[in-house]
Amino acid sequence: MDRRALLQLGLALASVSLAHRARADAPLDLALADIAKARAKIETLQGPFTQERTIALLASKVKSTGKLWLVRPDRLRWELDPPDAAVYWVLPDGLAYKTKTGSGKIAKSAQGPMGGVLGDLLVLLGGDLATLKARYDLTLVKRDAATCVLHAVPKDKALAKTTQRVELELAADLATMKRVSIVEKGNDRSDVTFGALVRNAKIDPKLVAGP
């Protein structure tokens, strides 16, 4: 087989591969478009959550409760109830925190890999999930009348060193989350389950302004 024939064969195989990938991605792209459409009607979200931290090596679990306030497109307050008594903010210019021992702010340019996950939380809860494609490989695991489940595997090498995947489960309305799980290397994980999230209720700007 000469070089021209080899080139033609390679192009044909590439075309078949791309067509197969496009067919495989179609359900994912449709789901992402439907989620974006449903979330376009949301201006604010607020409500309770339960967070369970599992440490695989010690076979132990730690449970926390808290509340969130989200103002689209770029503000989130994540508050843990006592005894944790900590507040985290996702802000347009970075992250901020306030704990029992102090408070501070971390600029976007200095967040590091876990700061990236926290920043992505705003998108996971109320943003356009398609924007995560730049940082994650997204897979549609399940979609039916009751739920939609997506997995996000980090592309970023620094983030991939600590995080295996992020699991997302959306409610039937596709606008709100039911669960977010962060699965770390070594199978440690954090599972966040959301209660009833209230849409478009007024939120005091001071709550989402940072410390």
The pTM of the full predicted model, rounded to 2 decimals, is 0.79
Right CATH number for 3-208 from 2.50.20.10, 2.30.110.10, 1.50.10.20, 3.30.565.10?
2.50.20.10
The predicted structure's pLDDT at residue 186: 82
The predicted structure's pLDDT at residue 204: 97
Q: List the structure tokens of 107.
A: 């600029």
Coil, strand or helix at 56:
coil
Give the integer Cα–Cα distance in Å for 177 and 147: 10
Single-letter residue type at 109: S
pLDDT > 90 fraction of the chain, expressed in percent and rounded: 55
| pLDDT string in tens for the chain (211-residue length) | 555 665 565 555 555 454 444 455 799 999 999 999 999 999 999 999 999 998 877 777 889 999 999 999 889 999 999 988 999 999 988 889 999 899 888 876 665 555 566 668 888 899 999 999 988 999 999 999 999 999 999 998 878 888 899 999 999 999 999 999 999 988 899 999 999 999 999 999 999 999 8
Listed in order, strand segments (DSSP E) in the chain are 44-55, 60-71, 75-80, 86-91, 94-99, 102-107, 136-143, 148-154, 163-170, 177-184, 189-194, 198-199
The predicted structure's pLDDT at residue 18: 45
Q: Where are the chain's structural domains?
A: 3-208
The predicted structure's pLDDT at residue 156: 81
